[in-house]
Structure 1
Amino acid sequence: MPIRLRYALLVVLLVLFVTGWGANHFASMIPVLKADEGLSATVLTGAFGIYALGLLPGLFGGGTLSDRTGRRPVVLSGAAVAGLGNLAMVVWHDSTGVLAGRLVVGLGAGLAISAGTAWAGDLRGRSGVTSAGVVLTTGFALGPVITGLLAELVAHPLQIPFLATGIVSLAAAAIGTVLTPGGRPHHAHPNGMIDDNERSVGAALSWSVPMALWVFSSVTVVVVVMSARIGDDAWVPGLAAAVALGTGVIIQFVVRQAHAGPMAGVVGAALAAVGFLLCAAGGAHPSMALFVVTAVVLGLAYGLCLRDGLVDVETRTPPARRGAVTGAFYVACYLGFGLPVLVTTLAPTVGLTTPMVVLAAAAIVASTSRAVRLRRR
């Protein structure tokens, strides 16, 4: 086997890890930017929004472009662009610099995530996409931890965390240029579970999007909505993210080792419903015990729905369209980041409980409909 092909999957997973780190580490920079640079809560909240503004076209465009030109140039360019966005904030960390840097990071991350996940599927089929989900989640989870430690321990907490993730992203892109093959996408590991005649963009989206809707919505409910009801301490969202994302990583490993089938997605959506109801039961002042239990339940939902959604994309998409469908799947996942804003907007009118109950009902519908479709196959 050529050396570039032998190491290709490892390099793709490395790129996805550092991309997740570079995209999510900003959460731990918020207190530093607020204290040292005096940035307002409005600016820092806007930095999250403008990140999504860059991310969504990157997800859509990166996947589609990689179907036409090849995965390698899109993935490695995306990693480099995300790295440059973080490096820009080393020296330019006023409000304009942070907003511009986060926009660039979002664009680069979108390119790398959609095309990178599709590339993992090209290289190793179902195993490749599930590994991509695990590694990306690990990067999301560890990014804020690494940056938080650097911000506490180094002499220049405003510069070093951005410098570290920027350099690592560029290094991963450079390694990729040496150790990965070029050329058009090649589906080297076709999945025999689905007949080629049953593969279509519509089929893939009809199965994967109902899973995607509960991926980041599960995480944001506990990290943003429920954390705000616990208190204003900075460690509370960090604890929620660590528990939820850590649980998500573990359950993806477990179901992968158990070779779990598509019923895992049924369980994932049902667990999302349970988590939303627990959040509703906690009301305006949930206990810490309920908070932690909810984080675990919604972390399980996150991991199972992400895993089965990616498997749906890999098994039901025509190989020539995998990049575009992967991008569309992740766009649906990221819709969950808008959930806290929606809940906060509706709360004065409908209260705290009603939105969570409605979300739980929708998740039950997704779980039930998937179970019915699987029984009919």
Structure 2
Amino acid sequence: MPGSALPQDRLSPAPSSPSASPPGPLRRELSRPAAFAALALVFILFMAASSAPSPLYVVYQQQWHFSATTLTTVFAVYVLGMIAALLVLGALSDHLGRRPVLLAAVALEALSMILFLTADDITVLLGARLVQGIATGAAMTALGAALADLNPAHAPHRAGVVTGAAPTFGLGLGALGCGILVEYAPHPTRLVYALLLAGLVLAAAVLRALPETAQRRPGTARSLQPRLRVAPRLRADLLGLVPILVASWALGGLYLSLGPSVAVGLFGLSDHVVGGLVVTLLTVPASLTALALRSWPTARTLTLGASLLLVGTAVALTGVLEHSLVTAAIGTVIAGIGFGGSALASFGTLARMAAPSERGELLSVAFVISYLSFSVPAVVAGAAATHTGLRDTFVAYAVTVASLSALALLAQWLRAHRSPSRKVSPQA
């Protein structure tokens, strides 16, 4: 799930000193609390927009008659655009300022909504998702940095809670809201994008009043050079976290790409609200888990997350094999709790085991692993579903996720016994 934790630890909160570019006489700045709340809502808006197409994939597929392989390719293009933006544009707001980068990201996102509104074939849909992925990737780092900059002193964990919970909440809201509109409102492939476009226009107006918290500084061109590097002393610990990163994000990718198709193809549920609910059953528990477990020690949260991911995936698989919708839904909720705990603890562990000078690079690598896991297995599953069917594909996918979760538990046990004296820290 795109952005469930952001590398904000590498960005030093700016003091409440004069902003980098003082407002003109006609522009009134938001107060810091109002700006923080506005950024949280913009974060949710971006994530809701990113999941809104999920319930529509089935509609597009019926209208344009493309395969499951093409469907998951549309999903993957978004994630690849996001990864490219994170690698190239991740540090841009440190040099140009938060507000200009966020306004540019909103403009790109609005362009993607216009492409969705006018899409009449798969080519335009692919272009819309690519532009949307770039816009979301550009916004995520700037949003995380701005939230950290504006984090209130009396609530030091608030920015971490928002960046941990807002993305998954937004994903669930976008999928369910779109499902409701598709089922009960007119113009099913247009209305949701028109509403999101209106929301983006409002977001742009609000962001123009955002206080600038980052001083402009040189090195803009150099910051656009993508770099992936992990300090040698951290590689073993990162390797130990790879199974849970891959398992949790791959499961999220499956639900956001093929989840609604599974509801239709395996359970005969043609109601588009159910298609959105499939995504919501995974993402909302993940969001609530990030809120509930934010003060837990990372090692305990990681163990719980991997355990529930394993159990939930097994229960959901049982529901599919026995054609029990209730069992599959319960398994999805359990897996969602595991997803939220795993994402929270994984990035918390990475942030704490690295020195400040190593943290940004390490988290960038972890994000690339996560988003590749989010997209590539989903594309493979789409190709498999085209040739072997949804049921067999879901079974193989679920078994793989469960196996990776079990491997993650083993890796966590070995890591704990390898360094039993390591101090366990709570989440940020």
Shift of 1:285: 4.2
Percent identity among equivalent residues?
A: 23
Shift of 1:143: 0.3
1:1-377 equivalence runs, <5 A: 3-34=30-61, 37-38=63-64, 40-41=66-67, 43-124=70-151, 126-184=157-215, 203=234, 206=238, 211-220=244-253, 224=258, 227=262, 230-235=266-271, 237-256=275-294, 259-262=295-298, 263-279=300-316, 281=318, 284-312=321-349, 314-315=351-352, 326-334=363-371, 335-342=373-380, 352=396, 355-369=400-414, 371-372=416-417, 375-377=420-422
Query: Matches of 2:150 and 2:419 in 1, distance apart?
Result: 27
Structure 2: state its 5+ residue gaps. Answer: 1-15, 18-29, 217-229, 423-428
SS state at 2:209 partner: helix
State whether residues 35 and 210 of structure 2, in contact with CA within 8 Å, keep that contact through their aligned partners in structure 1: yes
Structure 1: state its 5+ residue gaps. Answer: 186-198
Query: Matches of 1:222 and 1:360 in 2, distance apart?
Result: 17
Structure whose CA Rg is larger: 2
Shift in alpha-carbon separation, 1:40–1:354, aligned structure 2, 3 A: closer
Shift of 1:126: 4.1
Alignment-mate amino acid for residue 307 of structure 1: L
Shift of 1:231: 3.0
Moved more, 259-268 or 115-124: 115-124
Shift of 1:13: 1.3
Query: Matches of 2:356 and 2:113 in 1, distance apart?
Result: 33
Shift of 1:108: 0.6
Deviations 1:80-128 (A, max 9, x none): 3122211222123322221111110011111112332243334436431
Shift in alpha-carbon separation, 1:286–1:122, aligned structure 2, 3 A: farther
SS state at 1:179 partner: coil
SS state at 2:187 partner: coil
SS state at 1:213 partner: helix
Shift of 1:201: 10
Alignment-mate amino acid for residue 196 of structure 2: T
Query: Matches of 2:280 and 2:113 in 1, distance apart?
Result: 22
Query: Matches of 1:327 and 1:159 in 2, distance apart?
Result: 35
TM-score calculated relative to the size of structure 2: 0.71
State whether residues 176 and 279 of structure 2, in contact with CA within 8 Å, keep that contact through their aligned partners in structure 1: no
Alignment-mate amino acid for residue 162 of structure 1: Y
Alignment-mate amino acid for residue 362 of structure 1: L
Moved more, 53-62 or 233-242: 233-242
SS state at 1:355 partner: helix
SS state at 1:183 partner: coil
SS state at 1:40 partner: coil
Instruction: Give the number of equivalent residue pairs.
Output: 362
Alignment-mate amino acid for residue 215 of structure 1: S
TM-score calculated relative to the size of structure 1: 0.80
SS state at 1:376 partner: coil
Structure having the larger proportion of residues in helix: 1
Alignment-mate amino acid for residue 260 of structure 1: W
Aligned-pair Cα RMSD in Å: 3.7
Shift of 1:21: 0.8
Shift of 1:302: 1.1
Shift in alpha-carbon separation, 1:355–1:310, aligned structure 2, 3 A: closer
